[in-house]
Every structure is written in C-alpha cells, then in structure tokens.
C-alpha cells in the first residue's frame, strides 16, 4: 500500500510512517513492564527514532508506560482527555489531550479519537482511586489512506458505524493465560473485522509480554502459556479466512515490518 509503512514492535506498539510523519502507538520499548517480562526480541532504538506523534489509548501500564515515554523526546504525546495533568506531573513533556470525537492535525495527518470498550483507570476496572480517563481508539487519515488503531477494546455498539478503514490494528489476546473484561480474543476480533470491513487487518497485543514463571512452568500449565504466545493471531487469521470477508490478515511477528499488499 503506497504512502504507508508499518513495523509491529510488540504488544500494542506499532511504528507507522505516513503523510511524512512517524507515529508510535502505546509505546512499550523496554524489557519489562512491572512483573511482566518481554518474550519478544528487544526493540531496536532505530525503531523509535524520529517519532513525531505518540498516541496513547488508555492509562494501563502496559500501554502508557512511563519509562518508555521518557525515551522519546520532541514528540507530541497525545493522551485521553483528562489525563494530561497527571502525565505532566510525571515529567512527560509535549503532552496534549484528545477526547472521543475530537480531532487533531499534524501536517497532512488527521487523527480522530474514537470509542473503545475498556477500563480507563490506571489500576484497572475495580479501582476507584488514582488517575482515570476514558479509554479510546484512534482513526488516522491522510488523503490516501486511513488506519484504525483500536487500542484495548471489546466489541461495542458503534463499531460498525466507524468509517471503513484501509488498515485496522486489532488486539487478539493479551499477556496472561486468560483475558479480563474489555478485550478481544481471536473469535471476537474476527467479529470486529466483520463490523469494520477493513481491507487489511494487523493482529496486535500478543506474543510480547508474560509472567516469567508461567512461561517456564512445567506440564500443561506452562505449555498452555507458551502456546498463547504464538497461537492467537493464527487462530484469528483462520477465523477471518473462514468468514469470507475478503479482509487480508497481515500476520506479523513482533519486531518485524508489516508486509502490506498493494492490492489486498
């Protein structure tokens, strides 16, 4: 696809180059996030160089990762509306807020905040104290291409009403042996494809972070966790193919460039 280049850096972190801008989504650039350890290859510093715009979907630490944000200098850091002051107090510069239904421009790139069905609290859906801002996705548009970045989400009523994107980045799992509320598993992510009708979909939010004790556990428990580091995007791709939607699944290993077909 002309005018767009992408590299899947792992979890929900994708480097997009379009409209003369470099965009990074939910950057996780280090070898650990709290107790979680990176199981994918390390991120090459060149892959987070020259970033113009950082899009943060919500406040959870595996999406808004402060040590990773501190590695990025000179970028506009776009956070859900209501979270800007908290992030500035953490020493992050260039912070701007964006709400659902609001739009910002960066040169020829237009970014619109869209709905997501996911907890917006820093410490998860059961917490009542601490920073909170509504979780969201983003729709990126140029004159030639549109990209939907869902962030963490479950299916929601307005998903089918979003403008049909050329490319969708959809989560297909997480980092543990099960999923909590507000997530897509492979089957539900395939349902999202049917609602969105993208030309191309890139499965993300898989194969990158895990609790090290689980990946090394003996017997069926450890084997199941190791399978969950590789199987979800493949199960998703099979479900999309079986649906007959015609959407091309660009299955990409963490750290690799996304191969975008010219005529999906």
pLDDT band at residue 142 under the 50/70/90 scheme? very high
3-state secondary structure (DSSP) of residue 5: strand
Long-range contact set of residues 110-114: C-beta below 8 Å, sequence gap at least 24: 110/140, 110/141, 110/142, 111/53, 111/55, 111/78, 111/138, 111/139, 111/140, 111/141, 112/138, 112/139, 112/141, 113/80, 113/81, 113/137, 113/138, 114/138, 114/139, 114/148, 114/162
Task: Say how far apart CA 115 and CA 126 lie, in whole Å.
Answer: 20
Mean pLDDT of all residues in 124-147: 86
pLDDT at 126 over 70: no
Task: Say how far apart CA 105 and CA 235 lie, in whole Å.
Answer: 36
pLDDT 10s digits, 220-230:
888 989 999 99
pLDDT 10s digits, 89-112:
999 999 999 999 999 999 999 999
Are β-strands 146-149 and 136-141 bridged in parallel, bridged antiparallel, or unpaired?
antiparallel
Confidence at residue 43, expressed as pLDDT on a 0 to 100 scale: 97
Mean pLDDT of all residues in 154-179: 96
pLDDT at 264 over 80: no
Confidence at residue 125, expressed as pLDDT on a 0 to 100 scale: 66
Other CB atoms within 10 A of residue 91 CB? 9
* Contacting residues for 205 by C-beta, under 8 A, at least 6 apart: 11, 12, 152, 171, 172, 173, 174
| H or E element that contains 248 | strand 248-249
pLDDT band at residue 218 under the 50/70/90 scheme? confident
């Amino acid at each position: 696809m002309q005018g767009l280049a992408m590299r899947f850096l792992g979890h929900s972190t994708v480097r997009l180059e379009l409209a003369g801008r470099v965009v990074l989504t939910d950057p996780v650039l280090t070898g650990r996030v709290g107790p979680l350890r990176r199981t994918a290859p390390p991120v090459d510093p060149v892959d987070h160089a020259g970033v113009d715009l950082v899009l943060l979907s919500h406040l959870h630490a595996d999406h808004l990762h402060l040590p990773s944000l501190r590695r990025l200098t000179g970028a506009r850091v776009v956070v859900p509306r209501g979270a800007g002051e908290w992030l500035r107090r953490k020493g992050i510069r260039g912070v701007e807020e964006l709400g659902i239904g609001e739009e910002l421009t960066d040169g020829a790139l237009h970014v619109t905040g869209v709905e997501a069905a996911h907890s917006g609290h820093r410490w998860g859906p059961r917490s009542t104290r601490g920073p909170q801002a509504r979780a969201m996705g983003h729709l990126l548009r140029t004159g030639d291409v549109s990209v939907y970045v869902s962030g963490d989400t479950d299916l929601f009523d307005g998903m089918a009403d979003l403008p049909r994107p050329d490319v969708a980045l959809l989560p297909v799992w997480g980092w543990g042996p099960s999923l909590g509320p507000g997530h897509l598993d492979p089957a539900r992510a395939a349902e999202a494809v049917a609602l969105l009708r993208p030309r191309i979909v890139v499965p993300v939010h898989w194969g990158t972070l895990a609790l090290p004790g689980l990946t090394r556990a003996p017997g069926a428990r450890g084997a199941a966790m190791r399978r969950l580091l590789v199987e979800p995007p493949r199960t998703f791709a099979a479900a999309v193919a079986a649906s007959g939607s015609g959407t091309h699944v660009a299955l990409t290993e963490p750290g690799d460039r996304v191969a975008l077909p010219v005529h999906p």
